Structure 1
């Protein structure tokens, strides 16, 4: 079986960043209370806690334990598998516990956060559960089956694309003004730069727009939705091995995008509004995006990567020529006031950054020598 780098390791790093962000948000008001950062370990257990708190703290670290253990198992030698599984569990739990200990200690210096030994214990228990699940799946052969599946479907250096594709549905969880429209940041960046440079001579350096941003017409919205569906399909095509599997991948990807957007709408505005975003331009855009993806299954891998650049540039240009809808901003208040799945705005950041991370990845891929461009039918 060909060797390849595991995607679990970069995914675990991304999840560590998520935990750090969620644990230390809003990163403001740091102060020293005169309490040692490890004092919470000797404090009595909290008197007031809810079932949600217990589940959130345990489940929050379970994916980290799973990914860390899986990373170790995929890197380790197949010999002495039982000792490998034990070591993978130990490494994953210790690493997660150290991270949790550090996060709880730093919360001592944040006025809006409370360090808790209960949270620390639950984080460790969640990491242990995730690591045990990874070891159990490896023992049952599920990891080997995934390895064989990956070898059949994807080229050897597919790790970067697979990580980006795995993050795409989570980027869609924060509701966008245009369905599948990730990366609409121009107006926010312009406002942030203006605020930062206020009362400085550098404010005059900012370009002044001649006209205000105009809302997207239905035709432009249709194009944005079609490109939003096409981009992850083309990204996958750059690492999928055969034409037939590309077709299956395209249909599956579009369905995942629709499901993630519906889940986002249900979480934001209630289950009754889960499909309210499916207007006529959106439905046409999804259909056109899928048809284009199926037509382009015959493109070579480097050609697909180049088309990702073109599609993303057009997509981002159209999106960032439109302002954020005032009605849409108002409806986001429910989301921004507190949904656990948003991780204090991290899902929104992921939605902003994802297209630009894809641009960087594709540029690096195109600049590298192509050793796997031939496509078996």
Structure 2
């Protein structure tokens, strides 16, 4: 099995994106930096920490596994295939040592030799998993699967990356189920706070009227569009009808499960489905109807409709205030054990729709103007 250049290249952006994830999780909360008069790397030779939790062990072990997996996959060749393991372990050791050393400047973080050992072990596990998949023929089967299901591999790689991030973005609580990208209200308040006391504040246009709460019909529309958007994204790279229905079914199921997991992490397993209301049910029905109706369109038309749907949803979401209970939900989440990751997932929830919009516009502009008829 020999990778084509496009397959090798498509993995590198995912690898570097995950490096940024590790940087964020390792150096959070990025404030109260301090400089000690005498820096010491004695923690490298200290005995194992006496106090630790199972969650810390699990997160440090599993957190670096995707790093080793993606790096080994990116450098994989038919020959010298074990080189990826050595490179992944070395990169994980350097990155982990750098992060633990920088934690000496953060008062709320404690560097640990156990964390480094677990990080390296996790990267090794991820690298070995790639070799096992190669030995079992799964990598080659995945290549054939992509050839059967997707028309253009370059476009499919970007679409698959966005689809993979979408359930993660849904984990952070949003004012409305599947309503990602609600940023205008927070950006406006932050900007006003920044300009407070400045003469520029009186020149800044202020809204005279308060934001009106979202009506039930508008809420159903926003949730239905939120469920439909990943399906339309997938339709742009999948052309066959049965495959489109299968991908749409997976997207809808992942959206529901990710929202249930978010409620579980926030309130506990007993409240996993408390967010499912009559409005959510109506939105799901409309999303399924939209999938069946739009699955007959050509890929370019699906993406064009996705742009229109995305702009409409963002406009409706950002023209209404957040629910009164939303602040309590955020406080419950941020005080939990996922404090190091809530900010990262929140950024995903904020930026995913805008990354989708940029991707769709760039791919639509690169396609030929003389496209075939939008109907099959």
TM-score category of the 2 structures, normalised to the smaller one: over 0.9
Q: Is 2:127 the partner of 1:125?
A: no
Call closer, same or farther: CA 1:277–1:152 in 2, change over 3 Å: same
Whether the 8 Å contact between 2:29 and 2:340 is mirrored in structure 1 is no
Whether the 8 Å contact between 1:242 and 1:376 is mirrored in structure 2 is no
The residue number in structure 2 matching 1:51 is 54
Alpha-carbon shift at residue 372 of structure 1 (Å): 11
CA–CA separation in structure 2 for the residues paired with 1:159 and 1:5 = 9
Match of 1:94 among 77, 86, 90: 90
Whether the 8 Å contact between 1:241 and 1:376 is mirrored in structure 2 is no
Q: Is 2:11 the partner of 1:11?
A: no
Whether the 8 Å contact between 2:60 and 2:119 is mirrored in structure 1 is yes
The residue number in structure 2 matching 1:252 is 250
The residue number in structure 1 matching 2:187 is 189
Match of 1:110 among 106, 111, 116: 106
Alpha-carbon shift at residue 325 of structure 1 (Å): 1.5
Give RMSD over aligned pairs. Answer: 2.1
The residue number in structure 1 matching 2:201 is 203
Call closer, same or farther: CA 1:137–1:115 in 2, change over 3 Å: same
The residue number in structure 1 matching 2:308 is 310
Whether the 8 Å contact between 2:310 and 2:353 is mirrored in structure 1 is yes
Q: Secondary structure at the match of 2:7?
A: coil
Whether the 8 Å contact between 2:41 and 2:101 is mirrored in structure 1 is yes
The alignment's TM-score, normalised by the length of structure 2, stands at: 0.93
CA–CA separation in structure 2 for the residues paired with 1:170 and 1:42 = 37
Alpha-carbon shift at residue 51 of structure 1 (Å): 2.4
CA–CA separation in structure 1 for the residues paired with 2:38 and 2:273 = 50
Alpha-carbon shift at residue 139 of structure 1 (Å): 1.2
The residue number in structure 2 matching 1:33 is 36
CA–CA separation in structure 1 for the residues paired with 2:297 and 2:254 = 23
Deviations 1:83-124 (A, max 9, x none): 21x101111111122111111111111111111111111111
The residue number in structure 2 matching 1:156 is 153
Structure 1 residue runs of 5 or longer lacking an equivalent are none
Call closer, same or farther: CA 1:199–1:288 in 2, change over 3 Å: same
- Number of paired residues? 370
Q: Is 2:32 the partner of 1:23?
A: no
Structure 1 segment 215-254 matched on structure 2, within 5 A: 215-254=213-252
Structure 1 segment 169-184 matched on structure 2, within 5 A: 169-184=167-182
Q: Secondary structure at the match of 1:332?
A: helix
CA–CA separation in structure 1 for the residues paired with 2:175 and 2:351 = 16
Alpha-carbon shift at residue 215 of structure 1 (Å): 1.9
CA–CA separation in structure 2 for the residues paired with 1:341 and 1:234 = 33
The residue number in structure 2 matching 1:63 is 66
Alpha-carbon shift at residue 331 of structure 1 (Å): 2.6
Structure 2 residue runs of 5 or longer lacking an equivalent are none
The alignment's TM-score, normalised by the length of structure 1, stands at: 0.93
